[in-house]
Structure 1
């Protein structure tokens, strides 16, 4: 893998953020790319973090990069194939048939980070990104390219009732093998987006074409990919690097707008996260953040300050 400084260009976030496009192998939709976003620490460092976003998402959290920089980490993020900066006009947004598809861009990103003289690397994932990085770590035991994993509200189970989880999802996942492009509702509420975006009730500015409030329908192939990822987690996945799983202390189930969306997880069941995290074998730490939103680092200022403190306190015990 040969990349150099001249191949980076200014990112849409500005302010010393740079990006580089990764050409990937064509897939069932044709041409595929991924995008690495980078912000280097102002002090010379051999420590780095690689962030993987969630579903209906892309990297826009400049505050997160700045926090890692201030702690002496070079910061990298991936916009995965078919998300955000990497979305191409012929593709279906967010489309995937197996979480292992993402190995190609994660591998290339980690190789680039290593070539840029980082030898202590944190894999960091939010929601579906948390499911992706946990599975990735389980498939890449003894890798020298990453040294610990941190998950921010990882998507370890569908937030559905017992019948839907045990009967409905397996049936949809089975059908996804034969009808991958059949669309169904994502089941996600627009109010989570309302709680984030500055034009509604939140404080964040981001591209609503890449992260819309009204979540697009998903293909059955997506359900199948997530279901298979869940089975790996729930069958006592083995890791050999430390894992920190952070999540809110409560789940929000409101059907209309309320301030509760600003102080709980409106996407996943936090009890599921805690339960399945503890089934993973190795050095696993779980931590509930009081009043945290689904993306803990987009919560209200006092909450996200606590989330960052929790993260970096843990990191100091795992990375020299």
Structure 2
């Protein structure tokens, strides 16, 4: 495994980061970044590894605090070409197969185990949820994962049937020969505006790493996502217990901004999650959160409280007692 450097102070106050150099790819040098609180961890062998979503990075400090308060050492992973890991020569989010992320998860899980983690929960959001499920199905170190908690996993494109069934298969084929051809990402700006405090939200984060208008995508990335979705549709065999959380409803019409984004998923179709989540494995619990946003832990305070109640209640039952 490529060597890792020492932890350094992170951009988030009270956290530190570890750059992990990975093997170079078609764009050149590659790294991922592990983030953890600077405060001493709970005296337990339990840990959680958080994986962010698309056009995203780790900044959810409250989530870290909740895991720590419930007896878990908290770690977050900024995947290659996202957030802290994005290098000047790289195109943001640019991969050609979701399996490229498996090396990042391998390295992170190995580091957690080296630091004393014995029972590891994989907690992932949106595209990270898709990657985490695929990794738990076939990743090299998947046996290190005791359970998964997926927050609005990206299991299908939220696009009209004709686009998903006709246009996307064509783009998938083109992605094999023209992976760098880029398209603007078709995600609603209103969702980002509902999050950041410069607009209508309560959260502060780096708008270069998580822009309101999300990064463009290319044919290679769309091909990688389509291949991942196809595997999910056919069924995975993740053996670990898994909790899949999602909002109770979807924003049906995209707006520049609307209060609807504060109480529904403004990115994904929650019916897709309901339908596809049981195909991830034999031990899947699916739970709808009334009033939840796309990233459930960024919802309004009373909704976040319910998310944490459900999440940690399930974790307590899913894991063996300390």
For normalisation by structure 2, the TM-score amounts to 0.96
- 1:114 — aligned with what? 113
Does residue 1:165 correspond to 2:156, yes or no?
Answer: no
RMSD: 1.5
- 1:19 — aligned with what? 17
Aligned residues: 318
Instruction: Report the Cα distance in structure 1 between the residues aligned to 2:200 and 2:44, rounded to whole angstroms.
Output: 38
- 1:244 — aligned with what? 243
Deviates more, 1:39-48 or 1:69-78: 39-48
Does residue 1:314 correspond to 2:304, yes or no?
Answer: no
Does residue 1:279 correspond to 2:279, yes or no?
Answer: yes
Does structure 2 retain, via aligned residues, the 8 Å contact 1:123–1:150?
yes
- 2:224 — aligned with what? 225
Task: Measure how far apart 1:108 and its partner are.
Answer: 0.5
SS in 2 for 1:49: strand
Matches within 5 A, 1:1-320: 7-15=6-14, 17-39=15-37, 42-140=41-139, 143-252=142-251, 253-319=253-319, 320=321
Task: Measure how far apart 1:43 and its partner are.
Answer: 2.9
SS in 2 for 1:63: helix
Task: Measure how far apart 1:141 and its partner are.
Answer: 8.0
Instruction: Report the Cα distance in structure 1 between the residues aligned to 2:107 and 2:256, rounded to whole angstroms.
Output: 42
Task: Measure how far apart 1:282 and its partner are.
Answer: 1.1
Which deviations, in whole Å up to 9, do the C-alpha atoms of 1:99-152 show, x marking residues without a partner? 000011100100010111111100111000000000000103884311111110
SS in 1 for 2:145: coil
Q: Return 5+ residue gaps in structure 1 as ranges.
A: none
Instruction: Report the Cα distance in structure 1 between the residues aligned to 2:208 and 2:154, rounded to whole angstroms.
Output: 23
Task: Measure how far apart 1:293 and its partner are.
Answer: 0.2
Instruction: Report the Cα distance in structure 2 between the residues aligned to 1:62 and 1:84, rounded to whole angstroms.
Output: 15
Instruction: Report the Cα distance in structure 2 between the residues aligned to 1:92 and 1:273, rounded to whole angstroms.
Output: 29
Q: Return 5+ residue gaps in structure 2 as ranges.
A: none
Instruction: Report the Cα distance in structure 1 between the residues aligned to 2:316 and 2:279, rounded to whole angstroms.
Output: 24
Task: Measure how far apart 1:255 and its partner are.
Answer: 2.4
Does structure 2 retain, via aligned residues, the 8 Å contact 1:3–1:112?
no
Instruction: Report the Cα distance in structure 2 between the residues aligned to 1:93 and 1:185, rounded to whole angstroms.
Output: 13
SS in 1 for 2:143: coil
Does structure 1 retain, via aligned residues, the 8 Å contact 2:238–2:282?
yes
The 4+ residue runs of structure 1 with deviation greater than 6 A are none
Instruction: Report the Cα distance in structure 1 between the residues aligned to 2:50 and 2:40, rounded to whole angstroms.
Output: 15
Does structure 2 retain, via aligned residues, the 8 Å contact 1:142–1:240?
no
Relative distance call for 1:140 and 1:42 in structure 2 (3 A) is: closer
Instruction: Report the Cα distance in structure 1 between the residues aligned to 2:273 and 2:208, rounded to whole angstroms.
Output: 29
Deviates more, 1:200-209 or 1:275-284: 275-284
Task: Measure how far apart 1:287 and its partner are.
Answer: 0.3
For normalisation by structure 1, the TM-score amounts to 0.96
